[in-house]
Amino acid sequence: MNIGKQHVLYSALAMSLAALSGCVDTAGTTVHTDHVGGVSEVLEDSTRLKRRLGVDVAAINYDVVNGMKRAHITLMNKSHKRLHLHYRICWFDENGVEIDPGSKTYRSLIMEGRDSVTVTGVANNLNAVRSKLRVREADEAM
């Protein structure tokens, strides 16, 4: 192999590795709540986070405040180490369309070892009937 082809090959390899290192797994834990049917579902898409973070399904509650739906979801740190998380709660109408998707940014949450925290989200629209909590590790999302 001549020097020119070898240089091109190494350059292509370096660019591929750089591109791959920018790809991170932002999968995490998702909690769907249906405020009409009273059904909740927990999806754990990250095996690493699943070992470290739990959702207390018995403590998922929803109520109404000033006509707006509100969800309360309790998260539990199953490890002895501090967890740095990002979370957000999105709201959906009866057709499954997300309501005002641009207004819900991720919030930071730090959980100490063996700690539990209840996160709360209030709908920003009277038509909201379902909510979805998304949780991911902060280190993974950066």
| Neighbour count for residue 123 (Cβ, 10 Å) | 26
Listed as ranges, residues in the chain with pLDDT below 50 are 17-24, 141-142
**Phi-psi label, residue 121: left if phi above 0, alpha if psi -120 to 50, beta otherwise:** beta
CA distance linking residue 60 with residue 29, whole number of Å:
14
Q: Quote the pLDDT of residue 73.
A: 97
Residue with tokens 């986070």: 49
The pTM for the full model equals 0.77
Tens of pLDDT, residues 66-81: 999 999 999 999 999 9
CA distance linking residue 43 with residue 55, whole number of Å:
10
Question: Rounded to 5 degrees, what angle do the CA atoms 102, 103, 106 make?
Answer: 95
How far out from the chain centre does Cα 74 lie?
14
Q: Quote the pLDDT of residue 21.
A: 41
CA distance linking residue 31 with residue 38, whole number of Å:
13
Structure tokens at 112: 């100490």
β partners of residue 33 = 40, 131
Residue 127 main-chain phi, psi, to 5 deg: -80, -5
* Domains (range + CATH), the chain: 26-141 (2.60.40.3230)
